[in-house]
């Protein structure tokens, strides 16, 4: 089958995560670079980029899934949370009082 590069994941964990997302949408993907750390020596495994490839005929569909994923990621990064001084629980930005202890 003809595969095309879909996405460059920052590390193995992201690559497996995206592969899972694609799998949920019945798209079979291939990872390239997973084992590149062998022989490189000191480089930690999680800095190795992993290429994610999908079948050519699934590329457009896959790009849509990935862009939804990236939007989600940005949303999470921008979300401001606060930590309760009383019980140390994390509260969402829009909570005025702690959900756990009401302080
Ligand atoms: Zn609290």
**What is the model's pTM?**
0.60
Query: Quick check: 71 and 89 in contact, CB under 8 A?
Result: no
Asked, for residue 103, whether it belongs to a domain, the answer is no
Asked, for residue 54, whether it belongs to a domain, the answer is yes
Nearest one of 46, 57, 59, 60 to 9, comparing CA atoms: 46
Q: From the CA of 29, how far away is ligand 1's center (Å)?
A: 44
Asked, for residue 49, whether it belongs to a domain, the answer is yes
Q: Domain range spanning residue 55?
A: 3-91
Q: From the CA of 91, how far away is ligand 1's center (Å)?
A: 8
Q: From the CA of 89, how far away is ligand 1's center (Å)?
A: 6
pLDDT in tens, the chain (103 residues): 799 999 998 888 889 999 999 999 999 999 988 555 555 555 555 556 889 999 999 999 999 999 988 887 776 666 678 889 999 988 888 788 999 999 8
- Which CATH number covers residue 41? 3.30.70
User: Which residues is 90 bridged to in the sheet?
Assistant: 83
Domains contained in the chain, number: 1
The contacts of residue 18 (CB under 8 Å, 6+ apart) are 7, 9, 29, 52, 66, 69
3-class secondary-structure state, position 27 = coil
Indicate the pairing of strand 30-32 with strand 50-55: antiparallel
Asked, for residue 65, whether it belongs to a domain, the answer is yes
């Amino acid at each position: 089958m003809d595969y095309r590069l879909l996405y460059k994941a920052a590390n193995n964990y992201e690559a497996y995560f995206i592969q899972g997302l694609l799998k949920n949408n019945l798209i079979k993907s291939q990872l390239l670079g997973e084992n590149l750390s062998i022989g490189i020596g000191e480089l930690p495994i999680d800095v190795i980029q992993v290429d994610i490839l999908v079948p050519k005929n699934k590329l457009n569909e896959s790009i849509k899934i990935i862009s939804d994923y990236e939007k989600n990621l940005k949303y999470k990064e921008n979300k401001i949370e606060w930590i309760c001084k009383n019980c140390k629980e994390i509260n969402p930005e829009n909570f005025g009082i702690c959900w756990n202890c009401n302080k």
